[in-house]
Chain A
Amino acid sequence: MSKLVEERERVVVRFAGDSGDGMQLAGSRFTDATAAVGNDLATLPNFPAEIRAPAGTLAGVSAFQIHFASRDILTPGDAPNVLVAMNPAALKANLGELDRGATIIVNEDSFTKRNLDKAEYRSNPLEDGTLSRFRVHRIPMTSLTTRAVEAIEGATMRDAGRAKNLFALGVLSWLYGRPADVTRRWIEMKFGRKPAVVSANLAAFNAGWSFGETTELLDVQYRVKPATDVAPGTYRNVNGTTALALGLIAASVRSRLCLLLASYPITPASELLHELSRHTRFGVRTIQAEDEIAAAGMALGAAFGGRLGVTATSGPGMDLKSETIGLAVALELPMIVVDVQRAGPSTGMPTKTEQSDLLTAMFGRHGESPLPVIAPSTPGGCFGAAFQAASIAIRYRTPVILLSDTFLSSSSEPWLIPAVGELPEIDPAFATDTAGQERLLPYSRDERLARPWAVPGTPGLQHRIGGLEKADGTGNISYDGLNHAHMTELRATKVAGIARELKPLTVDGDPGATLLVLGWGSSEGAIRAGVRAARNAGHEVACAHLHHLNPLPANTGDVLRSFDRVLVPEMNSGQLALLLRAKFLVDVESYCKVQGQPLFAAEIERQIGSIVTRGPATSSGNDAGTARRISNGA
């Protein structure tokens, strides 16, 4: 039976089911097959904070979204074109985000009275007209999977029950022409030691594929051509956690400093601990510390010993580390603090994303304690950000805070694998002698204002450092007021001086644009996509993105002042806006979203549209409060 094949430029698919339904696995397999096609793609998993929320309930719904296209794309997509719902709760939890006409594929078998009750449906949405605005395909996935698997020798009913995600994957793989061999190979590799499980999973996947091919339920197959506007080179799919880990390892290799990651389990930063703990072959040591404070202390202790010390955390863990980060500021030792931001305050929403630690990173320590703050903007960009964080930390002898977030750490995209030879070497330039002095001057300065890093084991350079204020040069304890003022200024000037080596802020925009959309961190994709859409709609608008929050690129003020209006979208209540207003006296406008969700391109586009139609801002004299818009999405 031959079916109609339709071309699509881009598609957003969301797999949704109960936490136990294997949706993350189905999504990541679909992603690998999509990468193999050569589509550009971006993904976003979304799972509940509870490990095992009661099965079938709304709290237990887990989802994985993938956006793939024949041209370059910037985000995991706003509204899905296709929703796969493995149970009523998954349907209910995701229905609100679908546009009219979207396709819904449900596991019909799961729409039992009991499951409908758990999802708080009073009547069956498949029957009562709830879904009339959508194209719905009802597939009895559980029973079809069971039938496919039951004939296999050694396979249990449990294996059959667990394989229905692969049936769903098979259907979707057929629907979008994803290569089946990629998935089949993976199944064989993954379950190779258990032949019955291999057979069961293959049978489920094949049954799903065949179902798509033969049934009249699905009458169209779609094709999304390989993307042609991506840079040449070799790619792999990475999420932000993997890219960050690889960036740290690369920095360790290029600086010849063994890496210590000390961390305490916390969602979502634990993923970095898991990832790095596998890489002992690269001289990586990991310690699961007794608490967040210890983890920071261990990283700093390693730095004192001339190694690359890293600690990673999220949410409240950041608060606990701040005293040690302050010590690192005083000691002027390299240290990397990875903060995978999540929604707060307090425990907040551990699995939901937010950009609300910017001011904590900037100012969340007592006393004057400036340090560099770097924020990657894409999953793949976490590699470069981590490498650069290490490079700055090592060469300037300073702690660096790297602000990732939940969205970045878990979403994935194709990553152009960098050539190792093109990664710069990082010279730790350890002190080897007293530089002509009678004794080492541990607080003397080089041209960057960095102090000597004299590590234990170096003969003749024994010295003491500590959290007490130090006399310039000798590093002896000093309570002298003028010396303290001088040291305070030195520490600040050193960090500010990093701007000399930062790339200037580049503006991507229409020559006549009077509106600049300026973002930072993980919202880059949504902002660029929103700006692109606004331009397609005829608006003249420019955008720029900050990857360094402290210091800011040297031309930041000039860029801001060259536009009539500046819109700053953030997943917080206006933290970057506050900084920019304070630093540059520019009347920036905020677009804020704190819903535990990433920014969406459509929101940015809408916001640009509303600003442009409002006309130019009333110039000076505008009260700061009235110009600032706090909005929370729809």
Chain B
Amino acid sequence: MTAVATNANGGHPLSKADFQSDQETRWCPGCGDYAVLSAVQQFMPELGIPPERIVFITGIGCAGRFAYYMDTYGMHGIHGRALALATGLAAMRDDLSIWVVTGDGDSLSIGGNHLIHALRRNVPIKILLFNNQIYGLTKGQASPTSELGKITKSTPFGVADHPFNPVALALGAEAAFVARTIDRDRQHLTGILRAAARHEGAALIEIYQNCPVFNDGAFAALTEKDVKDANQIRLEPGRPISFAAGERGVARGRTGALEIVDVEDVGHSALIVHDPDRGDLGLAFSLARLAEDPTGPTPIGIFRSVRRPVYGRAGPNVAHDPIPDAQLAELLAAGDTWTVAAGPQHS
């Protein structure tokens, strides 16, 4: 991916503008989606892939509009099915860079089945899961990531259903690449996009995305200046997991489970060194479960990044050259055949 792609029309090196469509963006003012869109458009030239070989497929929900704003090929599908559409495309077109943009309702509720299967198959698709813990487009119902007790239009007495942890779910499906980032942190978000793009198979990126209308401040603990350093546990490959200016960290407790510790108590050497490439699903899962919800210390970064056979590249070798007529004729006449001669008599 070092080649410099150029714009087919102008021949100039690609820039952010080449990925901005002529459609007016219509999210609510202050929506986290704007920040993600801008970061993705900014990042796209770095891929080194011309826009005509990039496809964005979306489902239904506020995130579904994303496809219209990217000047690539795009399809705005139906609720929950973006990954099914993308899987069919990926199966037949290994020359494309395919991105799916989805939300917590779209991919964890109505489309949950497709998410786990795309991840287990390791279909080469980059999945941006915008998690705002609410249904926005349908105006404020609880989503599968809404926290217990949350009052919403559909849950006047509070959410009673235990929420999904998207990262843990993806790890459960043995996803090859799983990461979490935040809409408000352009640099971190871009870094994760870069790593996901570089990864060969399916990549799931959970993006904490603020919905200013129906669930404002859900991720304030991780985004507000005065508290974010105390709560963002940044996972960095090869480095001990520490946060809060190095005062706190993650270590194994006496039971062997991961715990958040004061570094002063356990010593710096006791901290877990993050290694997402190691393929230790148990450790990655424990990290994902460190925070019940993003209101306190919460890991962000790459939880897992391992090589697994990529969908469509293993398995039977499917021909893709034009099939000569003779080969088709042979197929049609396979097996036992007999010939009836012209004329009234035949043998």
User: In the complex, what residues of B have CB within 8 A of residue A360's CB?
Assistant: none
B340 touches A467 (CB 8 A): no
Q: Are A232 and B340 in contact (CB under 8 A)?
A: yes
Interface status of B197 (Cβ within 8 A of chain A): no
Distance in Å: Cβ of A234 to nearest Cβ of chain B: 5
B78 touches A467 (CB 8 A): yes
Is B298 on the interface with A (CB-CB < 8 A)?
Answer: no
Q: Give the contacting residue for B114; candidates A290, A326, A421, A463; CB below 8 A.
A: A290
Task: Give Cα distance in the complex from A298 to B95, angstroms.
Answer: 17
B114→A294 contact, CB < 8 A: yes
Give CA–CA (A283, B329) in the complex, Å. Answer: 15
Decide: A291 and B333 in contact? CB cutoff 8 A: no
Contact in complex: A293, B344 (CB < 8 Å): no
Is the beta-carbon distance between A282 and B331 smaller than 8 angstroms? Answer: yes
Q: A-B pairs with the 9 shortest C-beta distances?
A: A466-B76, A297-B84, A301-B88, A298-B88, A459-B8, A464-B74, A301-B85, A232-B342, A301-B89
Can you report 25 A-B residue pairs in the complex whose CB atoms are below 8 A from each other? A226-B346, A236-B333, A246-B331, A249-B331, A253-B328, A256-B322, A280-B319, A283-B318, A283-B319, A287-B88, A290-B114, A297-B87, A301-B57, A301-B90, A304-B85, A307-B93, A456-B89, A457-B52, A462-B71, A463-B74, A464-B67, A464-B68, A464-B74, A465-B75, A466-B74
Is B322 a contact of A468 with CB atoms below 8 Å?
no
Closest residue on chain A to residue B311 by CB atoms:
A287
Query: Which residues of chain B in 13-29 are interfacial with respect to chain A, using CB atoms and an 8 Å cutoff?
Result: 21-23
Interface residues of B in 295-347 (CB under 8 A from A): 316-323, 325-329, 331-347
| Beta-carbon contact of B85 and A297 below 8 Å | yes
Q: Does A580 contact B (CB under 8 A)?
A: no
Judging by beta carbons under 8 Å apart, are B338 and A38 in contact? yes
Which A residues from 263 to 295 make CB contacts under 8 A with B? 279-285, 287, 289-291, 293-295
Tell me if A250 counts as interface (CB < 8 A to partner B): yes
- Judge if A331 is at the interface, Cβ distance under 8 Å: yes
B51 within 8 A of A: yes
Contact residues in A for B333 (Cβ distance below 8 Å): 234, 236, 417
Is the Cβ of A462 less than 8 Å from the Cβ of B346?
no
Residues of A contacting B322 in the complex (Cβ-Cβ under 8 angstroms): 253, 256
Contact between chains at A294 and B81 (CB < 8 Å)? yes
Contact of A290 (CB < 8 Å), options: B22, B117, B332: B117
Inter-chain CA distance A477–B26, complex, in Å, is 12
On whether the beta carbons of A456 and B53 are closer than 8 Å, the reply is yes
**Cβ of A327 and Cβ of B77 under 8 Å apart?**
yes
Cβ contacts under 8 Å, A476 to chain B? 23
Q: Inside 8 A of A280's CB, which chain B residues have their CB?
A: 316-319
Judge if B215 is at the interface, Cβ distance under 8 Å: no
A182 to B336, CA, bound (A): 10
- Nearest neighbor of A301 in chain B, beta-carbon distance: B88
- Asked if B269 is at the interface (CB within 8 A of a chain A CB), the reply is no
Instruction: Determine the distance from Cα of A461 to Cα of B72 in the docked complex, in whole angstroms.
Output: 9
* CA distance in complex: A301, B75 (Å): 9
A458 in the interface (beta carbon within 8 A): yes
Instruction: Give bound CA distance, A165 to B22, whole Å.
Output: 71
Interface centre among A32, A326, A420, A463 (most CB of B within 10 A): A420
State whether the Cβ of A231 lies closer than 8 Å to any Cβ in chain B: yes
Could you list which residues of chain B lie within 8 angstroms of chain A, going by C-beta atoms? 8-9, 21-23, 50-55, 57, 67-68, 70-78, 81, 84-93, 95-96, 113-114, 117, 316-323, 325-329, 331-347
Q: CB-CB contacts of A223-251 with B at 8 A, as 1s and 0s? A: 00010101111111100000000100110
A234 touches B88 (CB 8 A): no
| Bound CA span A281–B57, Å | 30
CB neighbours of B67 from chain A (8 A): 464, 466
Residues in B with CB closer than 8 Å to A231 are: 340
Closest residue on chain B to residue A416 by CB atoms: B340
What is the number of residues of chain A that contact chain B, defined by CB distance less than 8 Å?
Answer: 77
Q: A236 contacts B87, CB within 8 Å?
A: no
Contact A38 B347 (CB under 8 A): yes
Cβ distance A512 to chain B, nearest Cβ, rounded Å = 30
Bound complex: CA of A253 vs CA of B114, how far in Å? 31
B341 to A285, Cβ gap below 8 A? Answer: no
Residues of chain B within 8 A of A228, CB atoms compared: 344-346
| B76 / chain A contacts, CB cutoff of 8 Å | 464-468
Beta-carbon contact of B346 and A293 below 8 Å: no
In the bound assembly, the distance between CA atoms of A235 and B91 in angstroms comes to 36
Task: Tell me which of B23, B317, B329 has the highest count of chain A C-beta atoms within 10 A of its own C-beta.
Answer: B329
Contacts of A418 in B (CB 8 A): 332
Q: Which chain B residues lie closer than 8 Å to A331 at the CB level?
A: 75
Q: Which residue of B lies closest to A250 (CB)?
A: B328
Residue in A262, A289, A304, A465 whose Cβ sees the most chain B Cβ within 10 Å = A304
Contact, CB under 8 Å: B319 / A281: yes
CA distance A295 to B88 in the complex (A): 8
Q: What residue in chain A is nearest B18 (Cβ atoms)?
A: A462
Please, how many angstroms separate the alpha-carbon atoms of A418 and B85 in the complex? Answer: 35
A578 to chain B, nearest CB (A): 29
> Given A457-B53, A464-B74, A420–B91 Cβ distance below 8 Å?
no
Residue in chain A with minimal CB distance to B343: A232
Besides A234-B339, A301-B57, A465-B76, 17 other CB < 8 A contacts? A233-B339, A249-B331, A282-B327, A287-B87, A289-B84, A296-B84, A302-B88, A304-B89, A307-B92, A323-B81, A327-B77, A420-B325, A420-B329, A456-B89, A457-B96, A462-B73, A477-B23
Chain A's nearest CB lies how many Å from the CB of B41? 13
* Residues in A whose Cβ lies below 8 Å from that of B75: 301, 304, 331, 464-466
Please state if A246 and B114 are interface contacts (CB–CB under 8 Å): no
A73 contacts B by Cβ under 8 Å: no
A42 smallest CB distance to B (angstroms): 16
Taking A228-B346, A285-B318, A467-B77 as contacts, is the C-beta distance between A477 and B84 under 8 angstroms? no
Q: What is the minimal beta-carbon distance from A327 to any residue of chain B, in angstroms?
A: 5
- A residues within 8 A CB of B92? 258, 260, 285, 301-302, 305, 307
CA distance A463 to B86 in the complex (A): 16
Given contacts A226-B346, A282-B328, A294-B87, contact A236 B337 (CB under 8 A): yes
> In the complex, are the beta carbons of B113 and A327 less than 8 A apart?
no
Q: Are B317 and A234 in contact (CB under 8 A)?
A: no
B contact residues around A326 at 8 Å (CB):
78
A35 CB–B CB distance under 8 Å: yes
Which residues of the partner chain A approach B85 to less than 8 Å between Cβ atoms? Answer: 297-298, 300-301, 304
Do A236 and B88 contact each other (CB < 8 Å), given the known contacts A249-B331, A283-B323?
no
Q: Tell me the bound Cα distance from A389 to B139 in angstroms.
A: 42
Task: Give the shortest distance, in Å, between A150 (CB) and chain B (any CB).
Answer: 32
A297 to B9, CA, bound (A): 32
